[in-house]
Amino acid sequence: MSAKEKTKDYEKLKYNNLKVKKSSRPIQIAVLGSSDVICSTKAYNMAFEIGQEIAKKKAITLTGGGLGVMEAALKGAKREKGITLAIVPWESMEKVNDFADVVVATGIGWSRNSINLNSCDGAIIVQGGAGTLNEATYGYMMSKPIVALTTSGGMAEQISDKYFDERKTEFVFGAKSPSEAVKKIFELVAKAKKKGIQLSQLDKNLLSREEKQDWNIIVKDKKKQLKKEKKPVRTTKKTKKSKRNSFE
């Protein structure tokens, strides 16, 4: 303890009444895509420019902290002096690319994909494979704005300009260039913020099941539906019964 601290009477200090300017949280955009194993040169360069564009808008660039698209986006953001955030699956903060300002070491393996989406205001998909699809579907369930860079190929090309299912939770918009993708995601995030905090379809489903009464209604309705679908089997002809062999 320093000499200055020794003279302080912490019982009399009134930090709780001290007026300090409140933090204004910047927008956080996740860039999802291929690891270095399948990342093409084209996708890497596109992700780099996306990181640059996000930083220019004074937003935080968020990725999974690995190589490939994840590295490129953070690298591009740092090129423009932006803030970068990496959410890694490992237990160590050292297992991350060289362009992360802040590292969150989840230690939960690939389940960390959900944290990537929970921690962003919107997401941009660049190329990508199965892991990216996992993140995209989770984002869809959580009603996160999503833009897919179709010209980067991979999963981004396959899932753009469509809803994932008949619930139509969130439309996945396609974009042809990095600048178009960033412009679109900021437009979608702005619209989402105007709507205010809303429960995702997943949260609504979970909440409805927390109340026993609601759960009973769901089960009852399902039983009625199944009963209607079940039709009695009517036989018009008598079928000769099988005669079991004596050695069976």
pLDDT reported for residue 242: 46
Of 224, 219, 223, 218, the residue nearest 204 (C-alpha): 218
Distance CA 137, CA 245 (A): 55
What pLDDT digit, counting tens, does each position of 167-226 carry?
888 999 999 999 999 999 999 999 999 887 666 666 677 666 555 556 567 667 767 777
Q: Could you tell me the pLDDT band of residue 54, with boundaries at 50, 70 and 90?
A: very high
pLDDT of residue 197: 66
CATH of residue 150: 3.40.50.450
Residue 216 lies in a domain: no
Residue with tokens 């999802």: 32
Digit-coded pLDDT (tens) for 70-101: 999 999 999 999 999 999 999 999 999 999 99
For 188, the domain range is: 28-195
pLDDT, greater one: 2 or 164: 164
Asked if residue 10 belongs to a domain, the reply is: no
What is the Cα–Cα distance from 166 to 59, expressed in whole angstroms? Answer: 33
Per-residue pLDDT, 244: 46
Residues 25-46 have a mean pLDDT of 97
Residue 204 maps to a domain = no
| Contacts by residues 93-102 (CB-CB < 8 Å, ≥ 24 positions apart) | 95/65, 96/65, 96/66, 97/65, 97/66, 97/67, 97/70, 97/71, 98/71, 99/71, 99/74, 99/75, 100/65, 100/74
pLDDT in tens, 5-27: 667 888 889 899 999 999 999 99
Measured CA distances, 27 to 1, 74, 85, 200 (Å): 39, 15, 12, 19
Q: Is residue 209 part of a domain?
A: no
Is the residue at 235 inside a domain?
A: no
> 3-7, 108-112, 159-163 — which is least confidently predicted?
3-7
DSSP state of 120: -
Q: Flag whether 106 is in a domain.
A: yes
pTM summary value? 0.79
What is the predicted pLDDT for the residue at 67? 97
Q: What is the mean pLDDT of the chain?
A: 88
Residue 99 is predicted with a pLDDT of: 98
DSSP count for the chain of H helices, then E strands: 9, 7
In a domain, 157, yes or no: yes
**How many domains does the structure of the chain reveal?**
1
Q: What is residue 206's predicted lDDT score, i.e. its pLDDT?
A: 66
Determine the Cα–Cα distance for residues 173 and 164; give it in Å rounded to an integer.
12
In a domain, 245, yes or no: no
